[in-house]
Structure 1
């Protein structure tokens, strides 16, 4: 009986080999398609990541440039403020030095007259320790101290003071 079944066994074995070869070929083809699709997806993900990275880098560069410009502007403004403060300090020191000038008593008389002229004859005018005079009376006050006059002189420079830091 074995001999009688041998052709059937041989035919089944050949069919199994054919089926196995077809299944293997199909599996290999499917695997190749899956690998190709995975590679395409990986390339797409990589391209998207590169594009996102480049866009983020551009955005970060813009942000950093804005921050750098802000820091530079703040540094510039601080330097300008320092120059203006120095001008104010030197101006105040220069006018306070007038107290040692022989013409100072005449300057006090003139400042007293100016305060009365500006605020009225009933103001009480007092010489100030730092120089100049302060006149007060009935809700009025006229400050002609040397420090106030120096500050007004610097303020009166207006935009002209920008020449301190202009090239």
Structure 2
């Protein structure tokens, strides 16, 4: 029997092994580079997202502040208008009530004498030739060329309230 001859060695085996080793090393290097690139892209994306979020928050806060300031200003204007309207209604009601009360003096026994004094005051202010007429709500109105004196009860009550303006305003101040 003859001994078997050893199998011929693959002459390209070492070259193949070296190429395979080089390919694996290159693949490992490419994977490592890809991981580094991906990490850098992710870090940049996170940084950009954080910057965008901070800017959006800043803009939102600024817009919120502007909107809140505008809402407060509108509320103050509305409140002020409501207050002024309420004061005007109270003032008008007071004027009507005072005028009604002053007109009651026509029912007093002394009304004729008071009316005569009003006529004398008109004539003193406008002269003896002044035309004096009764006002429908009480009191008198005098006229002379280019001039008028209103001593109606309503006009006198309104003037008295106007003179007491600050005191009347204090009625609703707290």
Q: CA deviation at 1:74?
A: 2.1
The normalised TM-score by structure 1 is 0.88
Give the deviation of 1:80 after TM superposition. 1.7
The question of 1:87 aligning with 2:87 is answered no
**1:40-51 to 2 correspondences below 5 Å:** 40-51=47-58
Deviates more, 1:28-37 or 1:111-120: 111-120
1:165 to 2:172 alignment: yes
Structure number with the bigger relative contact order (C-alpha 8 A, sep ≥ 6) is 1
Following superposition, the deviation at residue 5 of structure 1 comes to: 4.3
1:149 to 2:120 alignment: no
What is the alpha-carbon distance in structure 2 between the residues aligned to residue 19 and residue 73 of structure 1?
79
Partner SS for 1:114: helix
1:112 corresponding residue in structure 2 = 119
Q: Secondary structure at the match of 2:136?
A: coil
**Partners of 1:147 and 1:35 in 2: CA distance:** 85
Give the whole-Å Cα distance in 2 for the aligned partners of 1:121 and 1:10: 140
- Once residues 135 and 65 of structure 2 are traced to their aligned partners in structure 1, the CA distance between those partners, rounded to angstroms, is 62
Contact preservation (8 Å) 1:83, 1:164: no
**1:4 Cα deviation (Å)?**
4.5
Is the CA contact 1:126–1:133 (under 8 Å) kept in the aligned structure 2?
yes
C-alpha distance in 2 between matches for 1:8 and 1:122: 142
Q: Distance in 2 between matches of 1:133 and 1:77?
A: 33
Q: CA deviation at 1:112?
A: 0.9
Shift of 1:57: 2.5
In the alignment, structure 1 residue 20 sits paired with structure 2 residue 23:
no
Alignment partners' CA distance in 2, 1:76 and 1:105 = 42
Residue 66 (1) aligns with residue 73 (2):
yes
User: Using the alignment, how far apart are the partners of 1:165 and 1:81 within structure 2?
Assistant: 11
The runs of 5 or more residues in structure 2 that have no matched partner are: 1-9
Larger radius of gyration: 2
- 2-side partners of 1:45 and 1:96: how far apart? 75
What is the root-mean-square deviation in Å for CA atoms of aligned residues?
Answer: 1.8
Distance 1:103 1:18 in 2: 126
